[in-house]
Chain A
Amino acid sequence: MFDGLKDKLSNFREDAEEVAEENAEAIEDDEQAAAEAEAVADGEPVEAQAGAAAGDGADAAAGDVADAEAASADPDSADDEPDEESSGGFMSKASSLARGRVIIEEDDLEGPLRELEFALLESDVEMSVAEAILDQIREDLVGEEKKFTKSTGSLVESALRDALLSVIDVDGFDFEDAIANTEKPVTVVFTGVNGVGKTTTIAKLGKRLEDQGYSVVLANGDTYRAGANEQLQEHADNLDMKLISHEQGGDPTAVVYDAVEYAKANDIDVVLGDTAGRLHTSSDLMQQLEKLDRVVDPDYTIFVDEAVAGQDAVNRASEFDDAAAIDGTILTMADADSQGGAAISVSHVTGKPILFLGTGQGYDDIQPFDPDALVDDLLAD
């Protein structure tokens, strides 16, 4: 997972760094010209072309400050103000390229940003989320004067890092802490559309919790799908866990309720409640989910979706969040997906973290998700 996105991000970094590099050099040239002419005002670090033009002008008519100023001010009078502001700061001369300043104009960055937008879309980042990332990078890099200490590359990298983290790193709900610190029994209900792997995820998570020393009871709230009871029963048998289930067609709320009662009576730590997969457009089933949420009032609700999902992932995540507020998301089939966009989009839209990734069909194929580590990995060379 995420390899595809990583490749594409590194392309953007190269392009954007090039742009930054060019601009940095332009300033240097510009500065020399300005120094030669002993002219102060036309040394504004404007965009590369204008800077070069101003430099030429300074060479030709050295000392003719007013002319050069007019030349540089006229063609882009709209951008005048930021230029004026920065000209003061520019006076403190940059000693070398390794420690320098750069101003990147929006036009120069448009090409790379457009590439980045498509790269994000190709990685299944949802369109509005991709736009949010671009906006933030634009805001970060464009216009204002930037200082950099090592190279222009670090500038681009940190803008990209900030933008990614701002969408991906949402306020920390830590699943393990939550389970440890909540009064027992802890009830966790899993929601999601059909076929994303809720049941398998529950089995995996149940095993993980038992390995950590908790006792677990499973509740099959999927009273709808053919074969649902058999599927979860088999997992329960394999993992030697108790399963509470009713007949097909029963009330899912009652099943989970019974499981909670069972946990209380038998001193079980965690109740993991499965629900039937449902499409968020099915209003009856969504109401059923609301009822379950209202009556059982689970401690935590976790939304499960597949990592291969495309643009629609955000849509359903927010619909499920509306019906029964979610605390976090688990993405399954991460091993089938080299893009990883869904992880970025879903956490941004729901404002809730991605907790785990499902990475295979074995019971141990579940990994905690760490946004910082992911961003580090994405930006590593």
Chain B
Amino acid sequence: MVLDDLGSSLRGTLDKLRGKSRISEEDVDEIVKEIQRSLLQADVDVSLVMDLSDSIKERSLEEEPPGGTSARDHVLRIVYEELVGLVGDSTEIPLESQTIMLAGLQGSGKTTTAAKMAWWFSKKGLRPAVIQTDTFRPGAYDQAKQMADRAEVEFYGDPDADDPVQIARDGLEATADADVHIVDTAGRHALEDDLISEIEEIESVVEPDRSLLVLDAAIGQGAKDQARQFDDSIGIDGVAITKLDGTAKGGGALTAVDETGSTIAFLGSGETVQDIERFEPDSFISRLLGMGDLKQLTERVERAMEETQEGEDDWDPEDLMKGEFTLKDMRKQMKAMDNMGPLDQVMDMIPGMGGGLMDQLPDDAMDVTQDRMRNFEVIMDSMTEAELENPRSIGASQVRRIAKGSGQSEDAIRELLDQHKMMAQTMKQFQGMGDGDMQRMMKKMQQGGGGGGGGGFGGMF
């Protein structure tokens, strides 16, 4: 996610202010340096970074902290406000009939984003259509068509035509019934004059209600020039950041937003059509400052539960609350966790878990945990049905067999069995709670801080 690292380094620096009531210039300099570093490493434009850090510095030193406010809170508030100012709101996308045009560099992910957005609109109850006007790149038509099929939305394209403007015109006519028209264009960059005039022509035919610039999260300082050029020629109303599931921070998008005076509309984070989110500035900033993001977490949990259950109608998370907690249940729980995404991202969203606590864990703690979960899965694959249903029956000779079958050590098998025992016990406690309310379970886990043998996977760290 954008600026993830800023969170932890900033918290560290701000913690040094703890207990102070006055801020010295050196304190501010250090904080500002930290912010500059993080932003620059996130590919935010250098001059933008300088402006931001200058105004944080100026305000921290000049503004009188309101009575009773500690130095730390004072600075935190200023950083928050400045970041909110920089990030801006989410691009307004009304749920009504409209035409959206996508533009961007080659390979930034326009075609995938078009299908994802169409999917998003269809889930909101609108009827979208994707119009593919890329006549240049070989295979563009096939890719767009397949993606539209996966998103189960209407599609228009013409593999034999070679005039994108004509395709756009025909496409709008052919899909006149649709509520939302998403016009995909060929990739181009700001320095290709003929292609820039081509997209201007498409724009004048399509007359989009909004034009979105699609930007790869990994784009560097070039984002500024690209954004300006696209803005000059077709007018940019919003930015969609793609490939956020990588390690790039997407700071180029902040630059683009600043340069075009627009806002961030969508975030893309995967290759399937569902991997799209609307940009939420509040979630974004609170996560950044280590306040956790319960809203997103809830959404992720729900989505993960749905995915885990697909094709396994007989499993309900509530079943955990009844009867024996078997290895099968454990495997499903692990799968659900896995579906939620990288563990450290999930943890960062839990209030109290993210931020400070995460910083205390060794860097590889999450990797280790994830590796362990993966090993557990391998082990379970080598077990028989009966063993999965009734793990207590597993004896020494079975452990040996499973170890051989899965290529894991016997210790690893025993570790898994211990883990299961611990979780089964915790589940028993929850069963006592009666109605099997998942939310209450979550609450209890949180209060216990993963203690008492670890609710869920708390004990795995």
Our verdict on whether A and B bind, yes or no, reads yes
Q: Which residues of A contact B (CB under 8 A)?
A: 118, 121-124, 127, 193-197, 224-235, 238, 279-282, 306, 308-313, 315-316, 333, 335-339, 341-342, 361
Contact, CB under 8 Å: B43 / A234: no
Given A196-B107, A197-B107, A335-B191, A309–B246 Cβ distance below 8 Å? no
Q: How far is the CB of B300 from chain A (nearest CB, A)?
A: 17
The reply on B283 being an interface residue by CB < 8 A is no
B142 touches A315 (CB 8 A): no
A2 to B37, CA, bound (A): 23
B47 to chain A, nearest CB (A): 8
Per the bound structure, the CA–CA distance linking A196 and B43 in Å amounts to: 18
Contact residues in A for B225 (Cβ distance below 8 Å): 338
Q: List 19 A-B contacts (CB under 8 A).
A: A121-B46, A122-B45, A122-B221, A123-B221, A127-B40, A227-B144, A227-B145, A231-B140, A238-B138, A281-B245, A306-B218, A308-B226, A310-B248, A312-B246, A333-B107, A336-B222, A336-B226, A337-B222, A338-B225
For B139, the chain A residues whose CB sits under 8 A away are 227-234
Query: Shortest beta-carbon distance, A51 to chain B, in Å?
Result: 30
Chain B interface residues toward A at CB < 8 A: 37, 40-43, 45-46, 105-109, 136-147, 150, 189-192, 216-223, 225-226, 243, 245-249, 251-252, 271, 342
Question: What chain B residues lie within 8 Å of A122 (beta carbons)?
Answer: 45-46, 221
Docked complex Cα distance between A361 and B141 (Å): 18
Closest chain A CB from B9 CB (angstroms): 13
Are A194 and B46 neighbours in the complex by a CB distance under 8 Å?
Answer: no
Expressed in whole angstroms, the minimum distance between the Cβ of A206 and any Cβ of chain B is 13
Contact A193 B243 (CB under 8 A): yes
Chain A residues whose CB sits within 8 angstroms of the CB of B45 once the complex forms: 122
Measured between alpha carbons, how far is A99 from B191 in the docked complex, in Å? 46
Q: For residue A231, which residues in chain B have a CB less than 8 angstroms away from its CB?
A: 137-140, 142-143
A227-B139, A281-B247, A311-B249 given; name 15 further pairs at CB < 8 Å. A121-B40, A193-B218, A195-B216, A226-B147, A227-B146, A229-B139, A308-B105, A310-B43, A310-B223, A311-B248, A312-B43, A312-B248, A333-B105, A335-B189, A336-B222
Could you tell me the distance between the alpha carbons of A234 and B139 in the complex, rounded to whole angstroms?
A: 7
A311 neighbours in B (Cβ, 8 Å): 40-43, 220, 248-249
Min CB gap A236→B, angstroms: 9
Question: Which residues of chain A have C-beta atoms less than 8 A from B221's C-beta?
Answer: 121-124, 310, 339, 341
Taking each of B40, B146, B220, which has the highest tally of chain A beta carbons within 10 Å of its own beta carbon? B220
| Shortest beta-carbon distance from B48 to chain A in Å | 11
Tell whether A226 pairs with B146 under 8 Å between CB atoms, given A281-B342, A308-B220. Answer: yes
With A195-B106, A197-B107, A310-B252 as contacts: A339 and B220 at CB distance below 8 Å? yes
Given contacts A226-B147, A310-B220, contact A195 B138 (CB under 8 A): no
Rounded to whole angstroms, the CA-CA distance of A230 and B249 in the bound complex is 32
Minimal Cβ-Cβ distance residue in B for A285: B271
Chain B residues near A316: list those with CB within 8 A.
218, 246-247
Please name the residue on chain A nearest to B137 by beta carbon.
A231
Chain B residues in 8 Å Cβ range of A226: 142-147, 150
User: B189 near A333 (CB under 8 angstroms)?
Assistant: yes
Q: Which of B40, B138, B217, B247 contacts A235 (CB 8 A)?
A: B138
Contact across chains for A341 and B245 when beta carbons are under 8 A apart: no
- A227 and B143: CB pair below 8 A? yes
A309 touches B220 (CB 8 A): yes
Are B41 and A127 neighbours in the complex by a CB distance under 8 Å? yes
**Closest A residue by C-beta to B370:** A283
| Nearest CB in chain A: distance from B355 CB, A | 22
| Cα distance A130–B108 in the bound complex, in angstroms | 26
Q: Please measure, in the bound complex, the distance between the C-alpha atom of A234 and the C-alpha atom of B134, giving whole angstroms.
A: 15
Q: How far is the CB of B113 from chain A (nearest CB, A)?
A: 11
Bound state CA distance, A355 and B342, in angstroms? 34
**What are the residues of chain A within 8 A of B144 when measuring CB–CB?**
226-227
A123 to B144, CA, bound (A): 34
Contacts of B189 in A (CB 8 A): 308, 333, 335-336
Query: Which of B143, B150, B192, B246 has the most chain A CB within a 10 Å cutoff?
Result: B246
Query: Is the beta-carbon distance between B218 and A310 smaller than 8 angstroms?
Result: yes
Contact B247 A195 (CB under 8 A): no
Task: Report B-chain residues with C-beta under 8 Å of the C-beta of A337.
Answer: 222
Whole-angstrom distance between the alpha carbons of A248 and B225 in the complex? 37
A78 to B143, CA, bound (A): 67
**Contact among A124, A197, A335, A361 with B220 in the assembled complex (CB-CB below 8 Å):** A124
Cβ of A195 and Cβ of B46 under 8 Å apart? no
Residues in A whose Cβ lies below 8 Å from that of B40: 121, 127, 311
Q: How far is the CA of A313 from the CA of B217 in the complex (A)?
A: 11
Q: Which residues of A contact B271 (CB under 8 A)?
A: 194, 224-225
Which 7 pairs of residues, A with B, have the shortest CB-CB distance?
A310-B220, A231-B139, A227-B143, A195-B107, A234-B138, A226-B146, A336-B189
Whether A194 and B107, one on each chain, are in contact in the complex, defined by CB atoms closer than 8 angstroms, is yes
Nearest chain A CB to B359's CB is how many angstroms away? 20
Contact of A336 with B245 in the complex, beta carbons under 8 Å: no
Residue of A nearest to B138 (CB): A234
- Cβ contacts under 8 Å, B220 to chain A: 124, 308-311, 313, 339, 341-342
User: Which residues on the B side are within 8 Å of A193 (C-beta)?
Assistant: 218, 243, 246
**In the complex, what residues of A have CB within 8 A of residue B136's CB?**
361
Q: Are B141 and A127 in contact (CB under 8 A)?
A: no
User: Whole-angstrom distance between the alpha carbons of A315 and B4 in the complex?
Assistant: 15
| Smallest Cβ-Cβ distance to B108: which chain A residue | A195
| Bound: A227/B106 CA distance, A | 15
Contacts A121-B40, A309-B220, A312-B218 hold; do A194 and B243 have CB atoms under 8 A apart? yes
B136 CB → nearest A CB, Å: 7
Q: Which residues of B lie under 8 Å from residue A342 when comparing CB positions?
A: 220
Cα separation A306 to B219 with both chains bound (whole Å): 9
Distance to closest chain A CB from B285 (angstroms): 21
Q: How many whole Å from B43's CB to the nearest CB in chain A? A: 4
CB distance from A285 to the nearest CB of B (A): 9
**Quick one: closest A residue to B371, CB to CB?**
A283
Closest partner residue, chain A, to B251 (CB atom): A310
**Contact with A281, one of B41, B43, B107, B246 (Cβ below 8 angstroms):** B246
CA–CA, A324 to B271, complex, Å? 22
Residue of B nearest to A337 (CB): B222
On chain A, the residues within 8 Å of B150 by CB distance are: 226
Roughly how many angstroms separate A339 CA and B189 CA in the complex, as a whole number?
14
> Is there contact, CB below 8 Å, between B218 and A309?
yes
Residues of A within 8 A of B248 (CB): 309-312, 315
The residues of B that contact A315 with a CB separation of less than 8 Å are 247-248
A306: chain B residues within 8 A (beta carbon): 107, 216, 218
How many Å lie between the Cα of A129 and that of B142 in the bound state? 41
- Residue numbers in B under 8 Å from A229 (CB-CB): 139, 142
